[in-house]
């Protein structure tokens, strides 16, 4: 919360609860303030019940459908005082096991001391006819849970922490949540909880943790390793880990860092190995995943399978059936799939990867193999299925998800104990696959399953940890066919030609406007944005017959004058303006409106979806899935993801982002009829050759770059690739040197 933001204070009594999400505590209630009519208050208020006194701090706003309401950011709850308020509170069902009849009898028996009895002497409840000792103790436990939640929320509010943390903390730690949090505030630094390290660290310091406390230093080391997973690193060299953690914690003395790292290593939370001469520090789970991928792939690489009799004739018949004649490299690729258990197929646009894929699929069918097709994202899977004229799924859906009762975590259903039934698995867009996902896939493959991995190593690497596809190729250990010939038909496309030029470090002729590749020069952000809006709203639909929903705007960056934030605001205003019949809901800086194009931006394995017009349903939406908001109704935003309907409650809207414009990174694995790239400004790490190459190759029929040709030239010349620390290539090549014992400097 912003510190200098002025908040309005309301004090009153809860009149009624309109809506409550039991999972996260999000509540809509009516609050009586003074003598006036009750006002609508929304926010995280788990367990709030009629009769309870509340003091809320927040701000007024207006909901498109429900009018004026007060958004509570800080909530102070007062225990109801007096028999009337106590009766009203208990009658509301706030305490499990107590209804209106039981509440009345409790208050009649114990009066103003009812709460004291419930908390300290629940066995006294047996004085009331019909309440057994077992039920009395259960009611006491339920009441103490409510009181414990109050104390937890009060603690969170006192330290300026979001009240929304209350429910997930309670689900995780139960009645001990407050004690656990006070004992180790760094437990807040968790993907589900979403608290920054600096916030948790400040809380720890406020609670009396010393600057060199081992708990603090260990938490800092683990945070740096987890944080750098999203920078693509599977490990960090000890020297870099020490420096980064020292900067994070403000420590100059290296001894506490050395001791903390040794302690974490001894407990097995960090694993140290020597990789390419570096003292590599891994999170234990990441080291296990990387080592497992290397182990299983090595097994697969060492195994040669017996090809079917008459392989040459089978390939000839596939050529005839598909009306093509394979180039030598393509024939090699299809043939290799017959006798190698694992292979890599790679090449740039126009080199015939799709033709090879269809050939391999036909070969496996001829061999009587059950084949599964998969890709990292929903759009990539859909595209793969269309290209191969068969069903394809995301890797996540292929592996399926289930609930582990021992850990309370969602896990993949298919693993080494319940492998996939498929005899062969083909995975496209492998450059997007990170090491943990690859480990999960390898665990789900039978020992005799064939694996074909397809991708373009020049595309941007995965968002998650590792440099998987590149490492596989560079290791030289995995059988590989690299397609290099650009076929004549593809070469006629300026998109294909210019993509290869960019990839080779050559600047395309931007003054030449071909029928599928254009450059519109704009020198300032405002004119660039206006041009992009005009292209989407008028020029492409009217002049080229390309509707707006088949155009994807891309930008290298989120911020700055032509970043996705600015572009989405402008495009929403032009393509989906407000209207009386369109519901809408504000979340942060964005107004979600019926008709908006949106993207799911995190993997959510337990979100429910149902198929439109059918009875099918399932679980899971994944990072990169794009849909359209159908309706904004009551407290639900309904999104259509290519026929899969998902309901988002207000607390879930943080998983959605507007997608009229998306970053190039987010567009990986997708293909669009028309792509418009804003190329004007951005950080050097984003304005790179790889980003430009990836953007161009997302376009199927039309690519337009809007911006400064000088910026495009700088992107072509900037072949900067952020180094990723990964040990996979070394493991596959047999170069790992074993465990490192290097001390921190």
Give 607 or 233, the one with higher predicted confidence.
233
Question: Can you give the pLDDT at residue 654?
Answer: 85
The runs of H, that is alpha helices, within 165-213 are 166-173, 177-183, 197-206
Write out the E strands in 515-550.
517-521
In this structure, the strands spanning 656-658 and 597-600 are antiparallel
Query: What are the DSSP calls for 673-708, one per residue?
Result: EEEEEEES---TTTSSHHHHHHHHTTEEEEEEEEE-
Distances (CA, A) of 150 to 119, 182, 542, 632: 13, 15, 59, 32
pLDDT at 149 over 80: no
The pLDDT value recorded for residue 4 is: 45
Task: Indicate the pLDDT class of residue 46, thresholds 50, 70 and 90.
Answer: confident
* Higher local confidence (pLDDT), 724 or 63: 724
Instruction: Report CA-CA distances (Å) from 202 to 191, 344, 477.
Output: 18, 48, 48
d(C-alpha 441, C-alpha 644), whole Å: 24
Comparing C-alpha atoms, which of 222, 110, 726 is closest to residue 471? Answer: 726
Q: What does the pLDDT read at residue 404?
A: 65
Top mean-pLDDT range of 148-152, 681-685, 710-714: 710-714
- When pLDDT is averaged across residues 717-734 and rounded to a whole number, the result is 89
Structure tokens at 125: 């409840």
Give counts: helices (H), strands (E), the chain.
27, 30
pLDDT of residue 743: 34
Interhelix angle 378-388/353-366, nearest 10 degrees: 70
Range from 65-74, 239-248, 673-682 carrying the lowest mean pLDDT: 65-74
pLDDT band at 409 (very low <50, low <70, confident <90, very high): low
Which has more confidence, 98 or 678? 678
Geometric angle at alpha carbon 404, from 402 and 407, rounded to 5°: 145
pTM of this structure = 0.80
Each residue's pLDDT tens digit, 56-94:
888 888 776 667 889 888 887 777 778 887 887 788 777
Q: Is residue 272 pLDDT above 80, yes or no?
A: yes
Label residue 328 by pLDDT band (50, 70, 90): very high
Q: How far is CA 241 from CA 89, 214, 247, 725, in A?
A: 53, 16, 10, 12
Distance CA 212, CA 190 (A): 22
Q: What is the pLDDT of residues 411-467, one digit of tens each?
A: 889 999 999 999 999 999 999 999 999 999 999 999 999 999 999 988 888 888 999
d(CA 636, CA 76): 27
Q: How many other C-beta atoms lie within 10 A of the C-beta of residue 469?
A: 24
Tell me the three state secondary structure of residue 582: coil
Q: Of residues 21 and 745, which shows the higher confidence score? A: 21
Q: How far is CA 113 from CA 51, 52, 89, 94, 621, in A?
A: 16, 16, 14, 18, 50
Burial of 183 (C-beta count, 10 Å sphere; 0-12/13-18/19+)? exposed
- In Å, how far from its chain's centre is CA 146? 33
Would you call 486 helix, strand, or coil by DSSP?
coil
Name the token pair of 611: 């198929």
- Which secondary-structure segment (H or E) carries 343? strand 342-347
How does pLDDT run across 256-269, given as a tens digit for each residue?
999 999 999 999 99
Chain segment 183-212, per-residue pLDDT in tens: 999 999 987 788 899 999 999 999 999 989
CB–CB of 187/180 below 8 Å?
Answer: yes
Q: How confident is the model at residue 555 (pLDDT cuts 50, 70, 90)?
A: very high
pLDDT at 282 over 90: yes
The band of 564, judged by pLDDT with boundaries at 50, 70 and 90, is very high
Give residue 403's pLDDT: 63
The pLDDT value recorded for residue 1 is 38
pLDDT, residue 374, reads 95
Beta carbons of 69 and 42 less than 8 angstroms apart: yes
Our CA dihedral for 176, 177, 179, 182, rounded to 10 degrees, sits at 170
Whole-number pLDDT of residue 529: 96
Q: Is the pLDDT of residue 745 over 70?
A: no
- Range in 193-207, 210-224, 483-497 the model is least confident about: 483-497
pLDDT at position 429 is 92
- Cβ atoms 46, 40 nearer than 8 A: no
Q: Would you put residue 517 in left (φ > 0), alpha (ψ -120 to 50) or beta?
A: beta
What average pLDDT does the chain have?
A: 88
634/729: higher pLDDT = 729
CA 562, CA 568: separation in Å to the nearest integer? 10
486 Cβ partners below 8 Å, 6+ apart?
Answer: 348, 350, 351, 496, 500
CA–chain centroid gap for 647, Å, is: 17
């Amino acid at each position: 919360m912003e510190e200098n933001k002025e908040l309005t204070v309301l004090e009153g009594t809860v009149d009624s609860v309109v809506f409550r999400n039991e999972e996260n505590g999000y509540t809509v209630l009516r609050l009586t303030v003074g003598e006036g009519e009750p006002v609508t208050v929304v926010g995280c208020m788990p367990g709030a019940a009629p009769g309870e006194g509340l003091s809320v701090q927040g701000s007024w706003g207006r909901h498109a459908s429900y009018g004026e309401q007060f958004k509570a950011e800080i909530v102070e709850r007062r225990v109801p005082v007096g028999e009337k308020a106590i009766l009203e509170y208990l009658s509301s069902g706030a305490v499990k096991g107590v209804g209106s009849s039981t509440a009345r009898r409790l208050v009649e028996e114990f009066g103003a001391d009812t709460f004291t009895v419930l908390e300290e002497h629940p066995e006294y409840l047996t004085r009331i006819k019909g309440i057994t000792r077992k039920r009395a103790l259960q009611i006491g436990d339920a009441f103490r849970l409510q009181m414990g939640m109050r104390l937890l929320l009060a603690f969170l509010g006192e330290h300026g922490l979001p009240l929304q943390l209350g429910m997930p903390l309670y689900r995780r730690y139960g009645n001990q949540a407050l004690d656990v949090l006070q004992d180790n505030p760094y437990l807040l630094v968790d993907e589900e909880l979403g608290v920054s390290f600096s916030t948790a660290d400040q809380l720890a310091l406020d609670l009396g943790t010393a600057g060199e406390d081992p708990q603090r230093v260990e938490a800092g080391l683990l945070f740096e390793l987890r944080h750098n997973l999203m920078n693509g690193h599977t490990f960090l060299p000890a020297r870099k880990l020490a420096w980064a953690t020292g900067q994070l914690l403000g420590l100059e003395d290296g001894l506490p860092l050395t001791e903390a790292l040794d302690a974490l290593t001894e407990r097995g939370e960090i694993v140290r190995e020597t990789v390419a001469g570096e003292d590599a520090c891994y999170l234990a789970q990441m080291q296990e995943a990387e080592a497992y991928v290397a182990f299983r792939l090595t097994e697969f690489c060492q195994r040669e399978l017996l090809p079917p009799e008459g392989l040459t004739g089978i390939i000839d018949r596939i050529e005839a059936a598909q009306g093509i004649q394979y180039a030598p490299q393509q024939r090699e690729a299809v043939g290799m799939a017959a006798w190698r258990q694992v292979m890599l197929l790679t090449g740039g646009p126009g080199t015939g990867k799709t033709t090879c894929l269809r050939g391999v699929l036909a070969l496996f069918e001829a061999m009587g193999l059950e084949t599964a097709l998969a890709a990292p994202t929903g759009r990539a899977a859909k595209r793969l299925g269309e290209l191969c004229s068969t069903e394809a799924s995301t890797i996540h859906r292929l592996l399926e998800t289930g609930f582990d009762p021992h850990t309370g975590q969602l896990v993949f259903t298919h693993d080494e104990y319940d492998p996939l039934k498929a005899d062969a698995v083909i995975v496209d867009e492998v450059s997007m696959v990170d090491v943990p996902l690859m480990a999960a896939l390898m665990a789900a493959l039978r020992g005799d399953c064939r694996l074909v991995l397809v991708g373009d190593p020049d595309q941007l690497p995965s968002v998650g940890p590792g440099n998987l596809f590149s490492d596989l190729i560079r290791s030289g250990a995995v059988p590989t066919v690299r397609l290099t010939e650009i076929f004549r038909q593809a070469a006629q496309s300026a998109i294909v030609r210019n993509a290869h030029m960019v990839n080779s470090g050559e600047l395309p002729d931007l003054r030449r406007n071909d029928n599928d590749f254009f450059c519109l020069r704009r020198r300032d952000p405002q004119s660039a944005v206006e041009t992009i809006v005009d292209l989407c709203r008028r020029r492409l639909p009217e002049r080229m017959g390309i509707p707006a929903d088949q155009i994807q705007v891309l930008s290298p960056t989120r911020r700055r004058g032509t970043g996705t934030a600015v572009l989405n605001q402008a495009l929403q205003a032009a393509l989906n303006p407000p209207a009386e019949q369109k519901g809408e809901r504000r979340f942060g800086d964005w107004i979600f409106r019926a008709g908006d194009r949106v993207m799911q931006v995190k993997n959510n394995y337990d979100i429910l979806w149902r198929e439109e017009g059918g009875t099918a349903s399932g679980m899971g939406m994944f990072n990169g899935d794009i849909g359209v908001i159908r309706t904004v109704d009551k407290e639900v935003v309904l999104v259509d993801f290519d026929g899969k309907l998902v309901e988002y409650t207000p607390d879930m809207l943080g998983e959605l982002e507007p997608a009229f414009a998306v970053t190039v990174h987010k567009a990986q694995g997708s293909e669009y009829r028309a792509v418009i790239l804003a190329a004007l400004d951005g950080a050097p790490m984003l304005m790179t050759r790889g980003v430009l190459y990836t953007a161009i190759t997302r376009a199927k029929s039309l690519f337009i770059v809007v911006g400064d040709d000088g910026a495009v030239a700088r992107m072509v010349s900037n072949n900067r690739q952020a180094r990723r620390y990964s040990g996979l290539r070394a493991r596959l090549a047999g170069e790992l040197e074993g465990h490192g014992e290097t001390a921190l400097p």
